[in-house]
Amino acid sequence: MKIGVISDTHDQVDNLKKAIKVFKKEKVSLIYHLGDVCSPYFLMLFKEFHCEVKLVFGNNDADIYSHMKACPENVRLLGRFYIDHVDGKIIALIHGDIEGSAEALFKS
């Protein structure tokens, strides 16, 4: 399984379209977005990924209710932190703006 990782898209449509193109070419079957989508309506572009997108919120994703309303079916909004299990591996998703988060993960 190929997993794509993206973060801090900050409503940058051109950059997101580049990522969509690369992920499609590489036949990525799961995408992790590690926060800072920013505008809830920017999420609508994520339906172009044509695979599941698991997204944790960043410090610029304040309007969670609007994100939920604008979210396409292939995107799962997971809160500020999420632990996933894929192919026997444990994967932690976090934006990284929470002080000490990386250190706490490595100790767990």
Instruction: Judge whether residue 102 has pLDDT over 80.
Output: no
Name the phi and psi angles at 84, rounded to 5.
Answer: -115, 155
Question: Whole-angstrom Cα distance, residue 47 to residue 20?
Answer: 10
Q: Residue 99 belongs to what domain range?
A: 3-107
pLDDT in tens, 12-41: 999 999 999 999 999 999 999 999 999 988
Question: Whole-angstrom Cα distance, residue 78 to residue 80?
Answer: 7
pLDDT in tens, 73-85: 999 999 888 999 9
Predicted model pTM: 0.89
Q: Which pLDDT belongs to residue 99?
A: 66
Average pLDDT (45-52) is 95
CATH at residue 92: 3.60.21.10
Number of domains in the chain: 1
